[in-house]
Structure 1
Amino acid sequence: MDEDTAGTTAADHQVLDLSAEELLTTTRSVRRRLDLDRPVDPALLRRCIEIATQAPTGRHEQGWHFVVVTDPSVRTWLADLWRAGIGRGDSPMSTEELRRAHVRPGAMEKVWDGLGHLSQNLDRVLTTGTMAVERDVAALLGIPYESVMQAALIPVAHTVGTEFRPATRIPVDEVVHWDRW
């Protein structure tokens, strides 16, 4: 591979020098910051998944699985399914999907997954548009629909720029309740 098409390998990859507080307060899902033209080394993705699987889990169940899609044609099909999912005119989730979501494990793993990616100078956008077409995505990727619920579709890419800052948020005093609501 030549330098223009090879992307960054795990060996020469620069990890961001962020404190824990900077990492926690500047993590965003910003699609326009994803560099979709620069390939991501599979070893970097594997490292991010290793970090994500260090997340705490209820009852130490570790019920996660990751399907990493690198095939351009499959990625195109997934993008089409995502667009179809977010374009549905009815409720974003059917009664069956709501029932399946009710038994979904906690979301902490997704938080750790994002922090792991950002610490490796990669970004990702957690999307749920494919949940409306979950059965179709399961068929495309060979996921056993009846026994495995998908949590999200997470595009991962190198970041455009490395300047991160906290976002505007509702003031803490408006969301914190002491001792009772």
Structure 2
Amino acid sequence: MPLLDLNPDELLTTTRSVRKRLDLTRTVPLELVKDCVRVALQAPSGSNRQTWHWMVVTDAEQRAEIGRLYRRAVQTYLNSEGTCASLFPEDPERHAVQRRVGDSVAHLGDHMGEVPVLVIPCLDANEAPEYNEAGKWGSIIQAAWSYMLAARARGLGTAWTTLHLMYEKEIAELLGLPDGIVQAALIPTAYSLGTDFRPAARQPLEQVLHIDTW
């Protein structure tokens, strides 16, 4: 399919975590998902080890079970302290943004099992250096982000989620993951309802940029 007409900066700044605007009724061709993974395989990895694996789940029963576990994890998260909605009480504007994020997290929690494709980027921990956590996770996270960018360019919506890791063992057993294969994220993938996403509000550059010294 043709790519969206987005320049590199637009692609990077408008690839959002899509939760409420995932089309749960439209089938996503597996070849389209494979195209996105092929792009992701061009990402850098520590010592060029390429220790990643990509679990793509399309089976309805498996998706439903992952969705059930994810819903439980979301409920635990939203009932705990420090959730999206309870952050930044001293900043009304940012608090309102986080509350909207919390609402969308809850929505995805209710519908994760209905998303047509669930992608779980994994890492072979047997091949990862134990002494370097940054190098370990840095060998999969940017590849997963590349996958999300490639999906956005093709009219697909995705979201970076990790709450399923509360039940990582159960999901590993469900999917038959070998020992040593660890899950980095759960990325719901579906056609987005519209493609008109905009950059999100972020902290001013001056608050986070340090040149030469803190």
TM-score (ref. length: structure 1): 0.82
Uncovered stretches (5+) of structure 2, i.e. residues with no partner: 82-129
> What is the one-letter code of the residue matched to 1:43?
E
Aligned counterpart in structure 2 of residue 111 of structure 1, from 141, 145, 165: 145
Instruction: Give CA-to-partner distance per residue, 1:122-144, whole Å, 9 cap, x none.
Output: 11111101111100000000012
State the 1:173 CA deviation: 0.9
Aligned mates of 1:162, 1:14 — CA distance in 2:
14
In the alignment, is residue 179 of structure 1 matched against residue 198 of structure 2? no
SS at match of 2:146: helix
Aligned counterparts, 1:21-60, within 5 A: 21-60=9-48
- What percent identity do the matched residue pairs reach? 42
When you count strand as a share of all residues, which structure comes out higher? 2
Aligned counterparts, 1:22-101, within 5 A: 22-88=10-76
Uncovered stretches (5+) of structure 1, i.e. residues with no partner: 1-12, 92-98
Instruction: Give CA-to-partner distance per residue, 1:125-173, whole Å, 9 cap, x none.
Output: 11101111100000000012x3111001111001111212111111111
Q: Which runs of 4+ in 1 moved over 4 A?
A: none
SS at match of 1:110: helix
Aligned counterpart in structure 1 of residue 158 of structure 2, from 124, 130, 133: 124
Aligned mates of 1:175, 1:52 — CA distance in 2:
28
Aligned length: 159
In the alignment, is residue 167 of structure 1 matched against residue 207 of structure 2? no
When you count helix as a share of all residues, which structure comes out higher? 2
Instruction: Give CA-to-partner distance per residue, 1:41-79, whole Å, 9 cap, x none.
Output: 001000000011111112101111111111111100000
> What is the one-letter code of the residue matched to 1:139?
E
Aligned mates of 1:26, 1:70 — CA distance in 2:
26
Aligned mates of 2:158, 2:3 — CA distance in 1:
15
Query: RMSD over aligned Cα, in angstroms?
Result: 1.9
State the 1:85 CA deviation: 2.5
SS at match of 1:155: strand
> What is the one-letter code of the residue matched to 2:212?
D
TM-score (ref. length: structure 2): 0.70
Tell me if structure 2 keeps the 8 A contact 1:55–1:112.
yes
Tell me if structure 2 keeps the 8 A contact 1:127–1:154.
yes
Tell me if structure 2 keeps the 8 A contact 1:128–1:152.
yes
